[in-house]
Amino acid sequence: MVAILTEQGRVAVAAYMSEQPLHMAWGNGSVAWDTTPVQAGPNETSLVAEVGRLKATAIQYAVPNASGTIDLPEGRFNVSATPTKYLLLTFEFAYNHAIGEDIRELGVFIGTTLATGVPAGTIYLTPDQIDNPGRLVVVERVARFTRQSNTKQKFTYVIEF
């Protein structure tokens, strides 16, 4: 028989994750994806061509709710004041992040560490400012979009453990 991860175990994993540095990276990916999209796989460990990454703007717990206020492709959710197995992550990139870059890939990383000399508290990192990228938790390939200086980019994910 195989042991199973209990619901309380899933809540514990979510709680642990919520206490770690979480960053969302975005990258150029491959120009070939514009004509022939390639789905990301579960064995991915990094982005193909990272441009930069942002520390999570907000980390909260969530609960599924058919009439919830948070509407995502995978369903509707509400924020939960108590820990759950669902982590709600928000990343809000600033106007000046990655201007002019074509973005085709996104990923959430845990455990990113800063390179020597990068001031503590720096929330947006370019690849040269990263000592250890950490582990890729979630990866997504998206239709190409070009970063504009007049646009704030906001991403919201719910990760179920």
pLDDT tens digits for range 58-102: 999 999 999 999 999 999 999 999 999 999 999 999 999 999 999
- Give the CA diameter of the chain: 56
Give dist(CA 38, CA 30) in Å, integer. 9
Q: Which residues, given as ranges, of the chain have pLDDT below 70?
A: none
Question: 97 by DSSP, 3-state: which?
Answer: coil
Query: What class, spelled out in words, does domain 7-160 have in CATH?
Result: mainly beta
Confidence (pTM):
0.93
Measure the CA–CA gap between 118 and 28, rounded to whole angstroms. 23
Every domain of the chain and the residues it spans: 7-160
56-69 pLDDT, tens digit per residue, is 999 999 999 999 99
105 neighbors 40 (Cβ within 8 angstroms): yes
Cα–Cα distance for residue pair 69/41, rounded to 1 Å: 30
